[in-house]
Structure 1
């Protein structure tokens, strides 16, 4: 899993120091590569879960793992601001794609895909509750308890997690990400340029604003 970019944002005692720190943060946002946007947006094994204006000037594709702490941190601390500032205002189209790092992450994504068009709410709950299922001994029971709150029954839960085609498709989405150069999570492609790590809203704004 990717670490947050090592930018020391210490408390500033004056404006010059604050500006220097801001500059350092922006400098840390250099893209680590790029991909052909047409290839990035090619249909995959599973339909993209798109939120935002289809014609937004900026497209963000995130590859994440449900058991990745940095991914959970991004979705808890940065995504709400990204949603309010850019997605709901029509400036950004956002797509989350599956890049599971282990079987538990695969199970989490499968449940999100089975959640009756509640993909993002289910993802949000699983990230917020990550320590309650991803790091416990009996993850299956923990996931079942969370899934029941989302409307699953024991039967629909079992049916989802034993759906071999869905598992194969989730793995195919990960394989496509690997072909695009994803090696860690979270990895973001912003208008085709690649960035790794759980960025803050300030860091994302530094990338997005010049594209608007």
Structure 2
């Protein structure tokens, strides 16, 4: 999927539908608005040994079908063969094409230790929860996935209605995408070099070369 649109509206439309009425129902003072602008830091989601010889950063979107295919195939093989064996340190970074991708990210990040488990569920069920164009229905589909993953309803609502986190995630995404010149998903940065999506044999070949094998 190509990055061909402006992301200015993603933040404006960032919160899940249930949050809109609450978000806009009361006026805010200048001090309150300033306080909300102090967005929290975003935690990097990583797997593997921090001192591994190969560093891989994946840029992906939860609404990207190619990313779902990557996580259903190449990523599982990568994890088993290189991440779990201490040869690769892996970092996942979000790309937001739309507000729905942002909502999915906010759900996956509800509890940091569960991130990769929840993200795997979101990708594996992408065709189911992403069907249709009704934002209310899509948000409800994501909430259902959160419950399947073991998150409480209260936790899910708090995560998906966190305006400060939404702002922080969008700012973080834009800074990363600009720094690494990301123009499509999935994209991989392997020891500083950018690659587009590829079949696992090619990915393995690149990693083995970086390992000196």
Do the two structures share a fold, i.e. TM-score over 0.5? Answer: yes
Question: How many Å apart are 1:173 and its aligned residue?
Answer: 2.2
3-state DSSP of counterpart to 1:97: strand
Deviation readout 1:161-194 (Å, 9 max, x if unpaired): 1101111121122112221201211111000000
Determine the C-alpha separation between the residues in 2 that align with 1:190 and 1:93. Answer: 10
* TM-score, with structure 2 as normaliser: 0.76
- How do 1:185-196 and structure 2 match up within 5 A? 185-196=185-196
Question: How many Å apart are 1:74 and its aligned residue?
Answer: 0.4
Deviation readout 1:37-62 (Å, 9 max, x if unpaired): xxxxxxx9412111111111000000
Unaligned runs of 5+ in 2: 3-39
Q: Which residue of 1 aligns with 2:151?
A: 152
Q: How many residue pairs end up in the alignment?
A: 170
Q: Which residue of 2 aligns with 1:162?
A: 161
Q: Are the equivalent residues in 2 in contact too, given 1:115–1:150 (CA < 8 A)?
A: no
Structure 1 residue corresponding to 2:59, chosen from 47, 58, 63: 63
Unaligned runs of 5+ in 1: 3-43
Deviation readout 1:114-160 (Å, 9 max, x if unpaired): 13520000100000000111223411221111111122233222211
Determine the C-alpha separation between the residues in 2 that align with 1:47 and 1:115. Answer: 11
3-state DSSP of counterpart to 1:63: strand
RMSD, aligned CA: 1.5
Following TM superposition, the consecutive aligned residue runs of length 4 or more in structure 1 with deviations greater than 4 angstroms are none
Q: Which residue of 2 aligns with 1:129?
A: 125
Single out whichever of 168-177 and 52-61 deviates more from structure 2: 168-177
